[in-house]
Amino acid sequence: MTIPLVIDTDTAQDDCVAILAGLLTPEADLRAITMVAGNVGFDRQVKNAFMTFNVADKQVPMYLGSRLPLVRPWASAENVHGDGAGGLDMDFTGYSPETEHAVDALLRLAEEAEGELNIVAIGPLTNIALAVRKRPEFASQVKHLVVMGGSNNARGNITAAAEFNFYVDPEAAKIVFDAGFRITVVPWAPLTLQQAVFGRDVLERIAAIDTPLARFFTSVCSATLAFDESVGIPGTTHPDSLSVAVLLRPELITRSAEYNVDIETGSELTRGYAAMSWGVHGLAPNATVIEEIDAAGFQKYLLDMLSLSTTPPREFRTAG
Ligand code: BDR
Ligand code: CA
């Protein structure tokens, strides 16, 4: 039996790998991707997603969502990701997104799936929050929402307190955690930093695979590797592909717990901080937070995927 899902993405670096996982994992029935403002320029994100379809030689409908956070100006992560694809480009003639807005598509796809749709949200939560605002029952129509965001009583990345996705649109994140979804959280720290970083040894093994998918991976992860090493992270980070993996291969989760998750929207100092309360403060749980994974199993899952042979219809070129 396949797992119906939509990936809501700000496509750059590991978002590309996450989309590949949705396209190429046999258990996945990826019905669409929806684009949200986040990592890099919105139109660049769209190109990155089309290049991901190209390397997989597989496409699903792409719906464009919010180009801005709910109430704040956009904050970019271009200092981390560059263009999000390591300078790759291609001829985009003939590639175009659907005309329906992402929020309407999410609402429609949830209804059509009759309670079976899963969403993996790997960017700021603007589109998901707008869908809740448009139709509050949306939360109960979605089977499972996997959210990449926040840190579990640990450091942020864009500030000491906040992880990027929640920092960009904290109001949206708050709406989503209050909406009544069944949520699983893949946090930045400590989980991603401890268990989903690929060091140079792993990256060399990936380079040696030498398939179009492996070469694409190396390219899209290149800018982030340079940034990560400059801030003391020993490799590339994979929270977004991990978020897809835990939905499709839940056996990769080795420890999780129920938490109450709430998002800071009032303070500038701690904007987007996720307060993850682990059950001793008398707060009702609203999310399952993943605390530990089978890191070797996750690495094998991605390396096996990158070993698949695909025939990209368009040639990639490196932007000058
Ligand atoms: C998150 O922000 C982005 O830079 C990554 O794609 C990931 O979704 C990590 O903070
Ligand atoms: Ca992302």
Ligand 1: centre distance to CA 60 (Å): 22
Going by CA atoms, what residue is nearest to atom 9 of ligand 1?
A: 164
254 within a domain of the structure (yes/no)? yes
Ligand 1: centre distance to CA 74 (Å): 14
288 within a domain of the structure (yes/no)? yes
318 within a domain of the structure (yes/no)? no
315 within a domain of the structure (yes/no)? no
320 within a domain of the structure (yes/no)? no
Contacts of 145 (CB under 8 A, 6+ apart): 118, 119, 120, 121, 128, 176, 181, 182, 183, 184
Residues with CB under 6 A from ligand 1: 13-15, 39, 77, 80, 122, 148, 157, 163-165, 188, 239-240
Tens-digit pLDDT profile for residues 79-135: 887 888 999 999 999 999 999 999 999 999 999 999 999 999 999 999 999 999 999
316 within a domain of the structure (yes/no)? no
Residue 223: pLDDT band (50, 70, 90) is: confident
CATH number of 139's domain: 3.90.245.10
State pTM to two decimals. Answer: 0.98
Residue 76: pLDDT band (50, 70, 90) is: confident
Tens-digit pLDDT profile for residues 132-191: 999 999 999 999 999 999 999 999 999 999 999 999 999 999 999 999 999 999 999 999
Contacts of 173 (CB under 8 A, 6+ apart): 124, 125, 129, 149, 150, 165, 166, 263, 272, 274
319 within a domain of the structure (yes/no)? no
Distance separating alpha carbons of residues 96 and 308, to the nearest angstrom:
26
Mean pLDDT to the nearest integer, 233-238: 97
Can you point out the beta strands (E) in the chain?
A: 3-9, 28-35, 62-64, 88-89, 117-121, 142-148, 183-186, 197-198, 236-237, 253-263, 274-277, 287-293, 317-318
Which range among 49-53, 74-78, 140-144, 151-155 shows the weakest confidence by mean pLDDT? Answer: 74-78
Q: How many domains does the chain have?
A: 1
Residue 252 φ then ψ, to 5°: -70, -20
Domain that holds residue 74: 3-310
